Chains A and B, each alone.
Chain A
Amino acid sequence: MFDTSLTLNDVWFMLKGAGVTLAVTAFAVTGGTVLGLLFGVIRSQVRPWITLPLIFVLDIFRSVPLLIQLILANALQAIAGFQISPFVTSCIVLALYTSAYCTEIVRGAIEAVPKVTRRAARSLGMTWGQDMTQIVFPMALRVGLPSWIGLTLGVMKDSALILWLGLIELLRASQILVTRLQEPMFILLVAGAIYFALSFPIARFGAHLERRWQEND
């Protein structure tokens, strides 16, 4: 079974693909989280009818398959003459996609903070901003982190779809090798192992934080 023609060079090719996967994921999750925080705070603090347009747009990013979003965005930017590279297009689309999910995580986590606890903070003379930064965010972080870790891992796997814009990320690199070497089982096993190696530290980090916080409860 381990009689393979996969060379070190080929593995290096896959690792470079993994680098693209990691880079796109990092940009998408960073951008998506910043936007998600902003939108989530707006969603939880502002009356629903004012935020209807925002809710509508975010619903589109959550409802339309990511593959369609990627291809449409890439085609539209080309037609509009923006000349944005597929990599940047991928980062932007994935960031918006991430932000739509992150918004709901942030909103849910903020709304999980008891109203009375926030009133207790305000009644001590703290401002809205102090209440948000000192009380609401730290408390909401503990509620929202597990979902956010799940979202991050999901985006990392979903990012494979950017291969349709011609980007050679981990899955596309594996595909190319499969076509050339005709060893799909073994190569996909290696690809899966690399995905796992990328995800595992993130999952462990989340679990570590959760455990530390639980010690205080």
Chain B
Amino acid sequence: MIEIENVHKSFGALEVLKGIDLTVEKGEVVSVIGGSGSGKSTLLTCINGLEPINTGRIVVDGTEVHAASTDLNRLRRKIGIVFQQFNAFPHLTVLENVTLALRKVLGKSRGEAEEIAARQLGHVGLGDKLKVYPGRLSGGQQQRMAIARALAMSPDYILFDEVTSALDPQLVGEVLDTLKLLAEEGMTMICVTHEMNFARDVSHRVAFFHKGVMAEIGAPDQIFGAPERPETREFLSNVR
């Protein structure tokens, strides 16, 4: 369970998160929607401790992320994250991209790591690209590789930060299909996304962020069908 309690976060004088409260249960898929600069991506990088927070707390399975005593490297093993772009390690093959952390972080043997990596890469449809370098992959394939790399660590949670936003339109579908597959398998996911159809079809709950505040959260039918807040209505009428 991820518990986010009254989290405030500023970059210099700019306050990007103004008191966020959100609890994500095991097995839940939560989509976060909202305009640029609403703080949605920042929240993800706070959850796995890549960014410090000013006040409030984030607790993952009973461990407070920003406590001084928390071993972040250990905690991050159970929280995968996939970014919008630049996920790939360009000097390593697709297979090595996935095996690196298995070997260096989890201490698995080369053979064991390669077996896990090949399985996960097959799972996202890259079974025939193991020896290829990421530069030879399409944007969509690179994103799927990053998903396989996160999955290979057997995380309990995966955070997706606008993973389709930098892709050509015709490549969005293959990545969203992979996310759907994970959701169906019961992975706990927080997806920051601009894909409204995906948010509606796949999520258990949808959160709407507006200017650093979580303006509204609810079931997809409610958020998309009968939004309560005027900001939500305005945002949805603009993206449609």
Which A residues contact B (CB, under 8 angstroms)?
114, 116-117, 119-127, 130, 134-135, 138-139, 142, 213, 216-217
If A123-B79, A134-B100 touch, whether A117 touches B87 (CB-CB below 8 Å) is: yes
Please give, as numbers and ranges, the residues of chain A lying within 8 Å of B89 by CB-CB distance: 117, 120-121, 134-135, 139
From A114, A121, A125, B77 is in contact (CB under 8 Å) with A125
If A119-B45, A125-B76, A125-B101 touch, whether A216 touches B91 (CB-CB below 8 Å) is: yes
Residue B73 lies at the interface, judged by CB distance under 8 Å to chain A:
yes
A114–B86 CB distance below 8 A = yes
From B77, B85, B101, A116 is in contact (CB under 8 Å) with B85
Please give, as numbers and ranges, the residues of chain B lying within 8 Å of A142 by CB-CB distance: 91
Residue B224 lies at the interface, judged by CB distance under 8 Å to chain A:
no
From A120, A126, A130, B87 is in contact (CB under 8 Å) with A120
Interface range, B side: 20 to 34
Please give, as numbers and ranges, the residues of chain A lying within 8 Å of B85 by CB-CB distance: 116
If A116-B86, A121-B89, A142-B91 touch, whether A126 touches B104 (CB-CB below 8 Å) is: yes
Residue B88 lies at the interface, judged by CB distance under 8 Å to chain A:
yes
A139–B91 CB distance below 8 A = yes
Residue B48 lies at the interface, judged by CB distance under 8 Å to chain A:
yes
Q: Which of B88, B90, B153 has the largest number of chain A CB atoms within 10 A?
A: B90
Map CB proximity to A onto B75-87 as digits: 1 under 8 Å, 0 otherwise.
0110111011111
Residue B50 lies at the interface, judged by CB distance under 8 Å to chain A:
yes
Query: In the complex, A127→B77 CA distance in Å?
Result: 11
Total number of A-B contacts with CB less than 8 angstroms? Answer: 75
Query: Smallest CB–CB gap between A3 and chain B, Å?
Result: 56
Please give, as numbers and ranges, the residues of chain B lying within 8 Å of A119 by CB-CB distance: 45, 50, 81, 83
Residue B135 lies at the interface, judged by CB distance under 8 Å to chain A:
yes
A138–B91 CB distance below 8 A = yes
A120–B76 CB distance below 8 A = no
New contact pairs (6) apart from A121-B101, A125-B153, CB-CB < 8 Å = A119-B45, A123-B48, A125-B74, A130-B105, A134-B89, A139-B91
Query: In the complex, A134→B104 CA distance in Å?
Result: 9
Query: In the complex, A217→B101 CA distance in Å?
Result: 22
Closest to A213 in B: B91
Q: Which of B77, B84, B100 has the largest number of chain A CB atoms within 10 A?
A: B100
Q: Which of A119, A139, A142, A217 has the largest number of chain B CB atoms within 10 A?
A: A119
7 closest cross-chain pairs (CB), A and B: A124-B101, A217-B135, A216-B133, A116-B86, A114-B86, A125-B105, A125-B77
Closest to A216 in B: B133
B73–A126 CB distance below 8 A = yes
B76–A123 CB distance below 8 A = yes
A123–B50 CB distance below 8 A = yes
Residue B146 lies at the interface, judged by CB distance under 8 Å to chain A:
yes
Residue B149 lies at the interface, judged by CB distance under 8 Å to chain A:
yes
Closest to A215 in B: B133
If A130-B104, A216-B135 touch, whether A122 touches B50 (CB-CB below 8 Å) is: yes
A127–B73 CB distance below 8 A = yes
Please give, as numbers and ranges, the residues of chain B lying within 8 Å of A213 by CB-CB distance: 91
Closest to A217 in B: B135
| B86-113 contacts to A (CB < 8 Å) | 86-91, 100-101, 104-106
Q: List 11 A-B contacts (CB under 8 A).
A: A117-B86, A120-B86, A121-B101, A123-B80, A124-B101, A124-B150, A125-B76, A125-B105, A125-B106, A130-B105, A216-B136
Query: In the complex, A142→B92 CA distance in Å?
Result: 13
